Structures are given as C-alpha cells and as structure tokens.
Amino acid sequence: MAKKTKKIAVYPGSFDPPTDGHLNIIERGAKLFDEVVVAIAVNSSKKPLLTIQERLDTLKVLLKKHRNVRLDFFENKLLVHYAREKKATAILRGLRTVQDYEYEFQMALANKQLAPEIETVFMMTDSGLSHLSSSLVKEILSLGGSGKNLVPPLVEKIVHQKFKK
Ligand code: COA
C-alpha cells in the first residue's frame, strides 16, 4: 500500500504579538492538517514591537499543547520557497473582514503564480475575533487597556513589560 503523504500547512504571519485570533486559526488548522508550521515572518514594511526571539518564546509556550503544531521563523526569502523547504502543500491564512480580502487575494494569486503546487487555504475567523489585529492590541495595551478576550495573559504581560521599557 502506498505511504500516505503528510499534509503540511504553513501558517505565516508577523505575530507581533500573537492574538486570540491567531490562536483560533492555529487550533482549527491543526484539526485539518497533519502538521501546521507556525512561521514568524519578517514583513519588511512593518516596524515590530517584539523581537523575533520574544515572539518565538511566547508562541512556544502558547502552542505547547498542540502535538502537530511546529514553530519556526524565516526571513530574506519568499514564503513559497520557505513552504517548499518545509514540504508544505498549503499556506493557511485567516480572513477577518472584507478589508482582508483584497490584500489576501493578491498575495494568494502571487504565491500561486510562483508555486502552483501550493494552495492557499483561507479560514474565516470566528465571530467575536474578527475585529482583532496586532496593532489594535498594541494600541489598547499601550494606553493601559485590558487584554482580556484579545490576547492570552502571557502576551498581555510581555507587551506591558515592553511598553514600560
Ligand atoms: N486574528 C487576529 N489578527 C489577525 C488574524 C487573525 N486571525 N489574521 C491576521 N491578523 C492580523 C495581524 O495581527 C496583522 O495585524 P497588524 O497589521 O496590525 O500587525 C494583520 O492581520 C496581517 O498580518 P499578518 O497575518 O501577520 O501578515 P503580514 O501582512 O504581516 O505578513 C506575510 C504577511 C508574512 C505572510 C507576507 O508578508 C509574506 O509572505 N512575507 C514573506 C515574503 C514574501 O513571500 N512576499 C511575497 C508575498 S506574495
């Protein structure tokens, strides 16, 4: 009998910081794929608050309970090249609102052109999380607001510490 190929998806993002919305997509993605690689990527147009190491350390704790979720980071390469290296057949992305659509559609088409064998799979963000973004979280926490229902307590603590500095 032919050996079953593992279905691997890469879930890329800046995760600066990771939010409840990201974790929701990861949890659900882990049920669809044999393995999900959460890949912290460097988006050159963004000025991050957390270092890559801080994001890796935080996500490591948050993702510990998922046996089929791996954590990694990449920079100075295309997402599709990274996905090929990981032997992934899918790129997992969350869709929050119609505003996401155009940007995601453009990225998915560009990635498809670069690597036709890799499919972009979109997952609708659960209701109650669709307004969330890392920037919104940073703004709320920087002004002393609560991170409840936005980010896990660990993320709230780290972001608060960062702003204190
Ligand atoms: N819940 C909450 N927030 C979410 C979310 C969810 N489910 N999904 C996305 N977001 C938010 C993020 O918090 C982020 O918010 P911010 O802009 O306030 O930081 C925003 O949506 C989108 O960010 P993210 O999903 O992290 O992607 P990105 O736009 O920062 O980066 C990459 C996208 C990394 C995938 C892309 O830049 C890339 O592929 N880079 C590698 C180079 C490459 O291949 N480029 C060509 C691409 S065609």
Closest Cα to atom 4 of ligand 1: 133
Instruction: Give catalytic residue positions.
Output: 22, 46, 96, 134
Mean local confidence (pLDDT), 120-124: 97
pTM (predicted TM-score): 0.94
- Is-contact 69 36, C-beta < 8 A? yes
Handedness of CA 102, 103, 107, 108 (dihedral sign): negative
Whether residue 91 is predicted with pLDDT greater than 90 in this model: the reply is: yes
**What is the assigned CATH class of domain 8-130?**
alpha beta
Mean pLDDT of 19-35: 97
CA distance 42 to 38: 13
pLDDT score at 95: 94
- What average pLDDT does this structure show over 118-126? 96
For the cut 80, the answer to whether the pLDDT of residue 1 exceeds it is no
Which of ligand 1's atoms lies nearest the C-alpha of 43? 37
Looking at residue 4, its pLDDT comes to 80
- Which strand (E) or helix (H) includes residue 39? strand 35-41
